Amino acid sequence: MSKLTIFLVAAIAASAQTYIPIAQFKQRAFGDSLRAGERIAGRVTVADQFRNTSYIQDASGGIAVFNSAFRMGVQIGDSVEILSGTLTEFGQTTGQSGTGLSEITGSVTFQVIPVARVEPTPRTASIPSIGEALEGVLVRVRNVEFVETGIFQGDRNYTVRNATGDQLQVRIDANTEIARNSLPIPTGRIDVIGVISQFRGTYQLLPRIAADVGLTVERDTLPKSATLDVTTWNLLWFGSTDTTLGVANKQRQFNSVRIALDSIRSDIYAFQEVVTQSVLDSLASVVQGNYTGYLAPVDQQQKMAYLVSQDNVQVIETGLAVNGGSQAWASGRFPFRMTARCSIGGTEKTIVLFNIHAKATGDSTTAQQDWQRRKTDAETFHDYLNTFYANVPVIILGDFNDDVVNSVVTPNPTPYQVFVDDSAHWRVLTRPMSLLGLRSYIGSSVNARMLDQIIVSDELFGAVHRTYLEAPNAFLSSYTTTVSDHLPVTVRIRLEDVVTSVEPTEDDTQDVRVGPNPASDRAFIEIVRTNPSDLRVTLYDTYGRTIARLADESIGAQIRVIPIECAHLAPGMYGIFVESNGTARMYPFVVVR
């Protein structure tokens, strides 16, 4: 009698539930919710592989589920029941219902049925057959090839085509292992698996994992504790209180940057567009680890900055490398130098970093002039570095505001060609990334380019473990409107392989250096000042006659770099007279032909 009662109660309870096929539920009006006693049952085809959305399907069709608890509470192959939720549409063309993706959203409640997981089998679909009936369904599209070549990047669209020329858009979600690992775009014909989505009337195939595009992930087995990790990141008006500059929600941006840094865990960060020391100090105080910040002393709101782990890095000095006149380096945004003694796993090396934020490209009326200014800055900087840092490990990194393959100002070559061509002394680590189609500036789909670069000197050639784009947009939603329009770029360096064959000499520590000396075309005077001072620099010939007043100014704490153009000087001996705060010293200088 007891068993019969239990059976009847269970039967009555079951009969009170109505299971709605997914295809039938999708026929309802958007805004309609599951009614009392209604349920949707299905198998999970996408769990947390995408940043925001999961997918389920049954025999009738598939549908997206936009709910964080569901996304984190299920796994691919789970059998689930959805007990409540609302049918909505995402990404539809304005005024055209049915052109977006149907989703279950709102107050979603669900349960995982306690049965064995079954890996869902994708349905085979041809490109012409893809339409509304397959939206939300896991499919396999056979024998297609990618139109693009290079490397996959998150939140970008690609195209596959079949043998007859039919094409289908493939969307790579930033959270997938495909994007996070910058996997190569397959060449040749393959089968591609994914769920069908729709955005503004265009159907898209969304691969979930590397195997969906015929790839595997090779994990980096070298722990981060074994390398010196250095990251550059433009933080988009970070610390500005003006909501019209950068992102509107400043607190959300701050919190998002903190979350990203806790994920990246680099030893040195080179930032651009930091506005105040106070926001840098606040960031240092909340990031996991023992960090401190250094802000560049430039007379602009957008400043360069370093955030440094004090556990592995001892900062010896910082200062602006002031080279050029009033128009140089975006009218005063000179490279921010930091000399750091770095220690990893018992190995200690001194490295010099230059954090740059180059002149941006304005509208079409100034684009050519802006390109020329970047080119001039790069060439002068290259000569200066080769003069004074020929035997020093150097990293140049930052927002170069231009590509290192072809310029954003067409049809010009990159303004940094001088570094590309000097491959014996410099290696542009980010150039292969640009050649493969990766983009660090993602603020505009039209103008997206690889603008954030890392260059290393020959002392570091054999020490570079990896250079790669970070992907905080994989876990920070609405990234370009709430965090930054740039992605961070990281280089990992095996410190034990850094070449430091020449030990610092007494001359290296002097506050005034002249080089090359002798010189034929151009030389530089490097003057290091740790405090504000008056500075007068004069070039004399052997008769004591003034040849040129090279500087007469008041300067702040900086590395002042003064060029000497030698083409118009006769061969022979000269004297460089440096006066500063009541002291004076003469430095011999020789011009040869």
Q: Which long-range contacts (CB under 8 A, 24 or more apart) does 446-452 make?
A: 447/408, 449/403, 449/408, 450/403, 450/404, 450/405, 451/399, 451/400, 451/401, 451/402, 451/403, 451/408, 451/486, 452/232, 452/233, 452/234, 452/397, 452/398, 452/399, 452/400, 452/486, 452/487, 452/488, 452/489
Which of 451, 476, 497 finishes a domain?
Answer: 497
- Give the pLDDT confidence score for residue 558 in this predicted structure: 86
Which residues 6+ apart lie within 8 Å of 93 measured at CB? 99, 100, 200, 201
Helix H or strand E segment including 468: strand 464-469
User: What whole-number distance in Å separates Cα of residue 381 and Cα of residue 371?
Assistant: 15
- The domain of 559 spans 507-591
- Give the pLDDT confidence score for residue 506 in this predicted structure: 41
Nearest to 350 by CA among 299, 389, 382: 389
Per-residue pLDDT tens for 407-420? 999 999 999 999 99
Same domain as 437, residue 334: yes
Average pLDDT, the chain: 93
Residue 501: band (very low, low, confident or very high) from pLDDT cuts 50, 70, 90: low
Which of 89, 112, 135 finishes a domain?
Answer: 112
Q: DSSP for 280-296?
A: HHHHHHHSSS-EEEEE-
User: What whole-number distance in Å separates Cα of residue 381 and Cα of residue 393?
Assistant: 16
pLDDT (mean) for 2-18: 50
- CA 131 to chain centroid: 35
- Give the pLDDT confidence score for residue 466 in this predicted structure: 96
Which phi and psi angles does 303 have, rounded to 5°? -115, 155
Same domain as 492, residue 577: no
End-to-end CA distance of the chain: 114
Q: What is the CATH number of the domain that holds 581?
A: 2.60.40.3080
- Which structure tokens are listed for 449? 């380019």
Same domain as 420, residue 401: yes
Residue 8: inside a domain: no
In the 3-class helix/strand/coil scheme, how is 495-552 assigned residue by residue?
HHHCCCCCCCCCHHHCCEEEECCCECCEEEEEEEECCCEEEEEEEEECCCCEEEEEEE
467 forms beta bridges with: 491
Same domain as 488, residue 513: no
Residue 502: band (very low, low, confident or very high) from pLDDT cuts 50, 70, 90: low
- Give the pLDDT confidence score for residue 447 in this predicted structure: 79
Nearest to 559 by CA among 390, 339, 397, 394: 339
Q: Residue 345: is its pLDDT beyond 80?
A: yes
Helix H or strand E segment including 369: helix 367-388
Residue 36: inside a domain: yes
User: What whole-number distance in Å separates Cα of residue 335 and Cα of residue 45?
Assistant: 50
Same domain as 293, residue 325: yes
Same domain as 285, residue 159: no
pLDDT (mean) for 438-463: 93
Same domain as 311, residue 414: yes
pLDDT (mean) for 71-84: 98
pLDDT (mean) for 70-97: 97
Q: Dihedral through CA 428, CA 430, CA 435, CA 437, nearest 10?
A: -170
Same domain as 415, residue 340: yes
Nearest to 467 by CA among 182, 179, 175, 150: 182
CA atoms within 13 A on the CB side of 562: 23
Q: What is the CA angle 514-516-522, rounded to 5?
A: 100
- Give the pLDDT confidence score for residue 399 in this predicted structure: 98
Q: What is the CATH number of the domain that holds 59?
A: 2.40.50.140
Residue 510: band (very low, low, confident or very high) from pLDDT cuts 50, 70, 90: low
Residue 90: band (very low, low, confident or very high) from pLDDT cuts 50, 70, 90: very high
Residue 200: inside a domain: yes
Per-residue pLDDT tens for 396-410? 999 999 999 999 999
pLDDT more than 90, % of the chain: 87
Q: Using only the alpha carbons of the chain, give its radius of gyration.
A: 30
pLDDT (mean) for 90-107: 95
- Which structure tokens are listed for 580? 């500063």
- Give the pLDDT confidence score for residue 16 in this predicted structure: 63
Same domain as 281, residue 392: yes
Residue 424: inside a domain: yes
Kindly give the pairing relationship between strand 489-493 and strand 464-469.
antiparallel
Task: Flag the least confident range among 5-14, 63-72, 409-418.
Answer: 5-14
Residue 118: inside a domain: no
pLDDT more than 70, % of the chain: 95
- Give the pLDDT confidence score for residue 9 in this predicted structure: 42
Q: What is the CATH number of the domain that holds 474?
A: 3.60.10.10
Residue 314: inside a domain: yes
Same domain as 413, residue 450: yes
Q: Residue 183: is its pLDDT beyond 70?
A: yes
Residue 117: inside a domain: no
Same domain as 285, residue 155: no
Residue 593: band (very low, low, confident or very high) from pLDDT cuts 50, 70, 90: confident
- Give the pLDDT confidence score for residue 364 in this predicted structure: 86
Same domain as 437, residue 528: no
User: What whole-number distance in Å separates Cα of residue 42 and Cα of residue 56?
Assistant: 6
Residue 75: band (very low, low, confident or very high) from pLDDT cuts 50, 70, 90: very high
Residue 4: inside a domain: no
Which of 56, 84, 112 finishes a domain?
Answer: 112
- 107 to each of 65, 66, 82, 321, 453, how far by Cα in Å? 11, 10, 11, 56, 44
- Give the pLDDT confidence score for residue 463 in this predicted structure: 98
Please count the structural domains in the chain: 4
Task: Flag the least confident range among 101-105, 194-198, 220-224, 485-489.
Answer: 220-224
Q: Residue 280: is its pLDDT beyond 70?
A: yes
